[in-house]
Amino acid sequence: MKVYQTKEIRNIALIGGNRTGKTTLAEAIAFHGGVVSRRGTIEDKNTISDYREIELERQQSISSTLIYSEFAGCKINMIDCPGFDDFIGEAIGALRVADTALMVINAQNGVDVGAEIQWRWAKKMNTPVIFVVNQLDHEKANFDETLKQLKNYFGNSVMPFQYPVNAGVGFDSVIDLLQMKLLKFPVGGGKIAIEEIPAGEKNKAEEMHNALIEAAAENDEKLMDKFFEEGTLTEEEMAQGLKLGIIGRGTFPVICIAAKNDQGITRFMEIIKSSAPAPDEMPGVKTESGKTLNCKTSDPTTAYIFKTALEQHLGEVSFMKLYGGEITEAMDMVNSISNSKERLSQLLCIAGKNREKVEKVVAGDIIATIKLKGSQTGQTLVKSGDEEIVPTEYPEPKFRIAVRAKNSSDDEKLGAILNDFKKTDQTFLGEQSKELKQMIISGQGEQHLNIIKWMIEKLNKIDIEFYPPKIPYRETITKSSEAMYRHKKQSGGAGQFGEVHMLVEPYYDGMPNQTKYPVRGQDTYDLAWGGKLVFNNCIVGGAIDARFMPAIMKGINEKMEEGPLTGSYARDIVINVYDGKMHPVDSNEMAFKLAGRNAFREAFKNAGPKILEPIYDVEIFVPSERMGDVMTDLQGRRGVVMGMDSEGSFQKIRAKVPLAEMNKYSTTLSSITSGRASYGMKFSEYQQVPADVQNEIIKKYEEENKEED
């Protein structure tokens, strides 16, 4: 295979809502590049992009797929992403390395929720966007309405490069505003007929063409001068100027196609070649040390792993973008974080399920390699040095559930499988919670986790079940309290004796020491589960030997790990051990550990104990007209609205909501907004639960523990 130079590469992410035609478009582009000899279709289950078993079964993309194609000396690397919001992580990974996002819009439906969500991500990552209005052959296709919506949602920088003259059944013609010609696309592909613009379209076309010329000239002084002198620009000059607008996210072109009928595809590929940026024309990527890599061969050899997949027969496949230098087969590189050596045993040019070996790859290209020993998504491989590309930020998981194998002997295997999912999916978490004694998995939505369940059952052949996840509550106290405990045992041989007196207080930042019992020694611990524990030694006159203090501490710690109210972790407590008693023969560490533990339990119970619950910051994007329903629902979830901002026709609601009330939120939100809202959530803090909720939690805990006894 030819070695493509940086200028000859176009990296594009195919994004957009559900079933808009991304995979069909990718297939058509691959076909015209000679990468597939026959165009597959979704219905025939033979596209190169949707080849995984689950994708064939559901006729839907689940995972992003890298597909290269070739056009007039250019290599087009496409990353075909799933449109469904639960798989947004795939689009985010792709947007990070793509130099242009092709946002596919279905001309029947206009702007959908997928487009809105992905637009926000493209904006956040500064990725240029080209809109592709697809399915123009459909009887319900409505280009004018689609364009109106595009401008409405994404602003007036949305600029048609083409518009159709006969959208709907029989569609075959567009006015190309760069060429200023009418292009006729035969159904099923074939030679484009180029004709003059019909008289009835002339004025409209002129007006839109001039708007493009002005936009092109705005980006480049030389073009502006030429425009003033001659009043026009050539097609090439326009493409050049518009490309600058595209890179700076000041111009968002609109292209017209019907991918299924192979209409408009080759012209679209020409436009990608002339107007989409090459990797080194983009602003560059930042490293952790603040350097910028511009995808030049003269930049240090640096590859960023943006995706890891597990493929049958191949094992772990790592997808990388080269942000500088050149790499060759069998080259040794270093993982810039772990410093471990990685050999690029093979360089693979990927076209979905097909792969081809290449010997050399230059800066800007996207390829895959296999058999890396210990490098993961988000990590950087370098030739030398320790430069690390700032890793992509993914949204936190927001849908959690507990999972177990139906046959408990499979639980260990299940743990290992979940670990593999974590490697290949940055928006998924799965782990055995020591605290909750449950295996908890979390992802972007119910569908996301259902698909993981499908894969585990079908591919790994383990039957599993979901069940309600527990909430990681915490316990603390709200007032001071004193208690003493004497542990005394004198049966037979050596006895046990230990007595501990303590004062417990609620901890808060910057609090002074209590003055009743002067503090002689102080240790402050940051608890692994959050919060603090302060241990004050206030013993006078050697009432308890210093050597028993660690044992007392150990006893307290044990109880902190299993709080007195509900067995949850305790936090934010100050303990003052101020008195006690020893026995010259019977006192030992075990006795003091038990005395410490029990004294703490007693003091805790009388210190106004409270249950704390995790509160999440929740951010919801909702169409303005649905805001009322979402607010009412939030109230029912004990949510506190912190603020609202409008973004176009959307409202962004910021609220604090207890985790316990977020169960299956994505499913509810989707049903009350017809799938048009999206949300994200992030742990914020622990807060006391209301008294009625506390009573219920304690009651439930006691009932459950009775059952276990």
Ligand X SMILES: Nc1nc2c(ncn2[C@@H]2O[C@H](COP(=O)(O)OP(=O)(O)OP(=O)(O)O)[C@@H](O)[C@H]2O)c(=O)[nH]1
Binding site for ligand X (CB under 6 A): 18-24, 41-43, 60-61, 82-84, 104, 134-135, 137-138, 258-260
Q: If binding means CB under 5 A, how many residues of this protein chain bind Mg ion? A: 3
Instruction: Pick the closer one to ligand X by CB: 83 or 498.
Output: 83
Instruction: Pick the closer one to ligand X by CB: 60 or 301.
Output: 60
**How are beta strands 532-537 and 573-581 bridged, if at all?**
parallel
CB of 61 to Mg ion, least distance (A): 3
Secondary structure class of 295 (helix, strand, coil): coil
Q: Which residue has the tokens 């619950």?
A: 613
Site residues for Mg ion, 596-655, by CB under 5 A, read: none
Q: Which span (19-27, 330-338, 464-472, 548-556) binds Mg ion, by CB under 5 A?
A: 19-27
CB of 429 to ligand X, least distance (A): 24
Distance, in Å, from the CA atom of 445 to the CA atom of 701, rounded to the nearest integer, reads 28
CB of 470 to Mg ion, least distance (A): 37
Instruction: Pick the closer one to ligand X by CB: 58 or 488.
Output: 58
Distance, in Å, from the CA atom of 707 to the CA atom of 709, rounded to the nearest integer, reads 6
Instruction: Pick the closer one to Mg ion by CB: 23 or 678.
Output: 23
CB of 261 to ligand X, least distance (A): 6
Residue from the set 6, 23, 568, 694 that interacts with Mg ion by CB under 5 A: 23
From ligand X, Mg ion, none, which one binds at residue 135 (CB under 5 to 8 Å depending on kind)?
ligand X
From ligand X, Mg ion, none, which one binds at residue 474 (CB under 5 to 8 Å depending on kind)?
none
Distance from the first to the final alpha carbon of the chain? 69
CB of 159 to ligand X, least distance (A): 22
CB of 114 to Mg ion, least distance (A): 11
DSSP conformation class of 550: H
User: Residue with CB nearest ligand X?
Assistant: 83
CB of 263 to ligand X, least distance (A): 8
CB of 168 to ligand X, least distance (A): 11
Burial (CB < 10 A; 0-12, 13-18, 19+), residue 372, is buried
CB of 130 to Mg ion, least distance (A): 18
Name the phi and psi angles at 498, rounded to 5. Answer: -160, 135
Q: Which residue has the tokens 């611990």?
A: 525
Distance, in Å, from the CA atom of 122 to the CA atom of 131, rounded to the nearest integer, reads 12
Residue 52 lies near Mg ion (rule: CB under 5 A): no
Distance, in Å, from the CA atom of 76 to the CA atom of 57, rounded to the nearest integer, reads 28
Taking CA 383 as the corner, what is the angle to CA 380 and CA 387, rounded to the nearest 5 degrees?
Answer: 45
Instruction: Pick the closer one to ligand X by CB: 11 or 60.
Output: 60
Calculate helix-pair angle for 221-230, 199-218, nearest 10 degrees: 140
Instruction: Pick the closer one to ligand X by CB: 58 or 583.
Output: 58
From Mg ion, ligand X, none, which one binds at residue 138 (CB under 5 to 8 Å depending on kind)?
ligand X
CB of 301 to Mg ion, least distance (A): 33
User: How far does CA 60 lie from the centroid of its chain?
Assistant: 20
Do 405 and 430 meet the contact criterion of CB atoms below 8 Å apart? no
Q: Where are the beta strands (DSSP E) in 406-463?
A: 429-433, 438-443
Instruction: Pick the closer one to Mg ion by CB: 22 or 400.
Output: 22
Secondary structure class of 112 (helix, strand, coil): coil
Q: Which span (55-63, 87-95, 661-669, 699-707) binds Mg ion, by CB under 5 A?
A: 55-63
Instruction: Pick the closer one to Mg ion by CB: 22 or 267.
Output: 22
Distance, in Å, from the CA atom of 443 to the CA atom of 520, rounded to the nearest integer, reads 49
Instruction: Pick the closer one to ligand X by CB: 41 or 632.
Output: 41
Contacts of 643 (CB under 8 A, 6+ apart): 653, 654
Residue 448 lies near Mg ion (rule: CB under 5 A): no
Instruction: Pick the closer one to ligand X by CB: 78 or 551.
Output: 78
Residue 379 lies near Mg ion (rule: CB under 5 A): no
Instruction: Pick the closer one to ligand X by CB: 74 or 132.
Output: 132
CB of 641 to ligand X, least distance (A): 33
From Mg ion, ligand X, none, which one binds at residue 209 (CB under 5 to 8 Å depending on kind)?
none
Distance, in Å, from the CA atom of 533 to the CA atom of 558, rounded to the nearest integer, reads 13
CB of 353 to Mg ion, least distance (A): 14
Q: Which residue has the tokens 């629902």?
A: 633
Distance, in Å, from the CA atom of 74 to the CA atom of 7, rounded to the nearest integer, reads 8
Distance, in Å, from the CA atom of 353 to the CA atom of 472, rounded to the nearest integer, reads 43
Instruction: Pick the closer one to Mg ion by CB: 23 or 377.
Output: 23
User: How far does CA 452 lie from the centroid of its chain?
Assistant: 16
Instruction: Pick the closer one to ligand X by CB: 263 or 369.
Output: 263
Q: Which residue has the tokens 């219920």?
A: 696
Instruction: Pick the closer one to ligand X by CB: 257 or 349.
Output: 257
Query: Hey, how many other C-beta atoms are within 10 angstroms of the C-beta on 456?
Result: 21
Name the phi and psi angles at 704, rounded to 5. Answer: -60, -40
In angstroms, the Cα distances linking 591 to 496, 549, 586 are: 6, 12, 8
Residue 61 lies near Mg ion (rule: CB under 5 A): yes
Residue 22 lies near Mg ion (rule: CB under 5 A): yes
CB of 162 to ligand X, least distance (A): 15
From Mg ion, ligand X, none, which one binds at residue 42 (CB under 5 to 8 Å depending on kind)?
ligand X
Do 642 and 585 meet the contact criterion of CB atoms below 8 Å apart? no
Site residues for Mg ion, 318-337, by CB under 5 A, read: none
134: which 2 tokens? Answer: 């697809």
CB of 428 to Mg ion, least distance (A): 20
103: which 2 tokens? Answer: 């946002």
Distance, in Å, from the CA atom of 173 to the CA atom of 195, rounded to the nearest integer, reads 10
Question: Which of 537, 360, 334 lies closest to 4 in space, CA to CA?
Answer: 360
CB of 676 to ligand X, least distance (A): 16
CB of 60 to ligand X, least distance (A): 4
Distance, in Å, from the CA atom of 129 to the CA atom of 147, rounded to the nearest integer, reads 15
Do 506 and 476 meet the contact criterion of CB atoms below 8 Å apart? yes
Instruction: Pick the closer one to Mg ion by CB: 23 or 481.
Output: 23
Do 620 and 677 meet the contact criterion of CB atoms below 8 Å apart? yes
Element (H, E) at 246: helix 235-247
What radius of gyration, in Å, describes the C-alpha atoms of the chain? Answer: 32
Instruction: Pick the closer one to ligand X by CB: 91 or 689.
Output: 91
Question: Which of 17, 6, 24, 29 lies closest to 268 in space, CA to CA?
Answer: 29
Element (H, E) at 377: none
From ligand X, Mg ion, none, which one binds at residue 301 (CB under 5 to 8 Å depending on kind)?
none
Interface residues with Mg ion (CB under 5 A) are 22-23, 61
